Amino acid sequence: MDGSPIDWEALAGAAEAARARAYAPYSGFAVGAAILFEDGAITQGANVENASYGLGVCAERNAVAAGVLGGHGRPRAVLIFTSAGHPVPPCGACRQVLAEFAGPELPVQSRTAAGARRMHRLAELLPEAFGPEWLGR
């Protein structure tokens, strides 16, 4: 894995641009995410809602899927960008997907349009994540 410093400003710019393209007509809660992968690629994702609410997909999972499709390897960092009044961490489903592809030490930064920031490690957000080791394989 690349040990170079994480360019959080580049991730913030990519996540903010993704949020601008979110499709959130039902909740009005647009989210953008950007993920830095071990090969240096940055993928973006935005939440995409659906009139059948359960079929919506979060920004973070869309960014992970883009990285998988691009063959970029493991995520090194994720940034979530919203216009909420406070930094918003990933939802439970996104935490589980991030755990599958990145592992517990993944740095997760949440930012708001007003400039508020919060940093976590994935293990803090999802202790004892479910993974292949729980399947007895």
Q: Is 1 inside a domain boundary? A: no
Chain length of the chain: 137
Region of poorest pLDDT, from 11-20, 61-70, 71-80, 124-133: 124-133
Q: Is 89 inside a domain boundary? A: yes
What is the pTM for the complete model shown? 0.94
* Domains held by the chain: number: 1
Q: Is 2 inside a domain boundary? A: no
What residues are annotated to the active site? 60
Q: Is 108 inside a domain boundary? A: yes
Structure tokens at 119: 């940093």
Q: Is 134 inside a domain boundary? A: no
Q: Is 136 inside a domain boundary? A: no
At 109, which helix (H) or strand (E)? strand 107-112
At a CB cut-off of 8 Å and minimum separation 6, what does 116 contact?
85, 86, 87
- CA quadruple 2, 93, 45, 34: dihedral, nearest 10: -30
Mean pLDDT of 56-83: 97
Higher pLDDT, residue 131 or 69: 69
Mean pLDDT of 84-91: 97
β-strand partners of 45: 33
Q: Is 133 inside a domain boundary? A: no
Q: Residue 5's pLDDT is what?
A: 93
Kindly report the CATH number assigned to the domain that includes residue 89.
Answer: 3.40.140.10
Mean pLDDT of 7-30: 98
Range of the domain at 110: 8-123
Mean pLDDT of 114-124: 97
Q: Residue 137's pLDDT is what?
A: 65
Q: Is 86 inside a domain boundary? A: yes
Q: Residue 2 pLDDT more than 90?
A: no
- Measured distance CA(102)–CA(36) in Å, rounded: 11
